[in-house]
């Protein structure tokens, strides 16, 4: 079964760091462009980062310089290293697979992991 | 303020047809980038509903259809059912922002 399972969320103080993990099964992470998308409770979706099959990375301005996306082929996993966290980073974080190169559609999503930034 | 604009809410009675609009600009939908639609049931992750403007993934009923024209796109749902009550999001790519962008979401209420 094709599946993504996130972990690593939790409570962190403003200015702190957290690393999210996303374990994939049923497909090879390195063969797809992979993404992180977040959602503030009761609000809409926001794209957070992407890593291409060649290892190139992409970020929106809201997290650039603070968040780092990476993957580990041996573990078939995706990661999001978050630093200098702010209250506005509080959200459910989803990892997602891009359906096919260049499509930009996310066909597989994890169940999400909650990140709370608060003192 | 989302890059793609959706109505906050729509509603319809069972069996009726509803449409949800998604309005963009010349740097995203109007530039020719594809629009995708997601359905998010309460407490769950989003699910891909329409990709590449008009295509349905396997398993999505043909009651759901998508279209695109100019700087806008639409999701149509016919034969409304109670289980269609959910939040719906459009998504595309924006060349000015160099990234994926979402609409603010539309809550569908089945009366």
Q: What is the pLDDT along chain A (119 residues), one digit of tens a residue?
A: 999 999 999 999 999 999 999 999 999 999 999 999 999 999 999 999 999 999 999 999 999 999 999 999 999 999 999 999 999 999 999 999 999 877 789 999 999 999 999 99
Taking the alpha carbons of A64, A65, A66, A72 in that order, is the dihedral positive or negative? positive
CB pairs under 8 A between A and B: 63
Q: Do A104 and B2 touch (CB under 8 A)?
A: no
CA atoms of B80 and A76, how far apart (whole Å)? 40
Contact list in A for residue B57 (CB cut-off 8 A) is 107
For residue B88, pLDDT over 90 is answered with yes
Nearest to A105 among B52, B97, B99 (CB): B52
Shortest Cα distance, chain A CAs vs residue B84, angstroms: 18
Gyration radius (Cα) of chain B, Å:
13
């Amino acid at each position: 079964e094709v599946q993504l399972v996130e972990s690593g969320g939790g409570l962190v103080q403003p200015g702190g760091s957290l690393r999210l993990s996303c374990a994939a099964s049923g497909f090879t992470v390195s063969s797809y462009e992979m993404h992180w998308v977040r959602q503030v409770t009761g609000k809409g979706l926001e794209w957070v980062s992407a890593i291409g099959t060649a290892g190139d990375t992409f970020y929106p301005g809201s997290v650039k310089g603070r968040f780092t996306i990476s993957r580990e082929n041996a573990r078939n996993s995706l990661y999001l290293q978050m630093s200098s966290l702010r209250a506005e980073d509080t959200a459910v974080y989803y990892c997602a697979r891009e359906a096919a190169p260049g499509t930009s559609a996310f066909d597989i999503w994890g169940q999400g992991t909650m990140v709370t930034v608060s003192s | 303020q989302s890059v793609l604009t959706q109505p906050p809410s729509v509603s319809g009675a069972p069996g009726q047809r509803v449409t949800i609009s998604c309005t963009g600009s010349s740097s995203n939908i109007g530039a020719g980038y594809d629009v995708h639609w997601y359905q998010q049931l309460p407490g769950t992750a989003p699910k891909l509903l329409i990709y590449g403007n008009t295509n349905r993934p396997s398993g999505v009923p043909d009651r759901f259809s998508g279209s695109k024209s100019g700087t806008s796109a639409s999701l149509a749902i016919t034969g409304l059912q109670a289980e269609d009550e959910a939040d719906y999001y459009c998504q595309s790519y924006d060349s000015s922002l160099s990234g994926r962008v979402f609409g603010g979401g539309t809550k569908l209420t089945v009366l």
